[in-house]
Amino acid sequence: MLVGVAFGGFSLLMGRLLGPHHPDMEKNAQYECGFPAFDDARVKFDVRYYLIAILFILFDLETAFLFPWAAAMRDVGLAGLIAMLVFIAELAIGLWYIWKRGALDWE
């Protein structure tokens, strides 16, 4: 891994040092579908977008645990079933909590 990182860093450094560098105002100008930029691209987003995205990632990761568990259900036995039911119960309690706190309300 160290060799890969070193090779990548070396390649980027050599490209930067040895490559052509011709700054031009037109090349550095903002470009938007063939037209000059109409407005500032930085638009304020509501924090709730990020909250919903984080919650989606959190609850989407549960599938990363459920699929292998379902594939190995016969091998894990009753102990694995109980462990996964506890895991699902914890996620359900977490979902109930954020629902009651109003994190999913969009008003």
SS3 33: coil
56-91 residue pLDDT tens: 888 888 888 888 888 888 888 899 899 999 999 998
Residue 47 lies in a domain: yes
Torsion angle, CA of 63/66/72/78, rounded to 10 degrees? 180
Query: By residue range, what is the domain housing residue 58?
Result: 2-101
The rounded percent of the chain whose pLDDT value lies above 90 is 29
Residue 106 lies in a domain: no
Band (pLDDT 50/70/90 cuts) for residue 23 is confident
Residue 86 placed within a domain: yes
* Per-residue pLDDT band at 34 (split at 50, 70, 90): low
Single pTM value for the model: 0.52
Whether 92 is covered by a domain: the verdict is: yes
Would residue 52 count as lying in a domain? Answer: yes
75 inside domain: yes
The CATH number covering residue 25 comes to 1.20.58.1610
| Domain contains 65 | yes
Number of folded domains that form the chain: 1
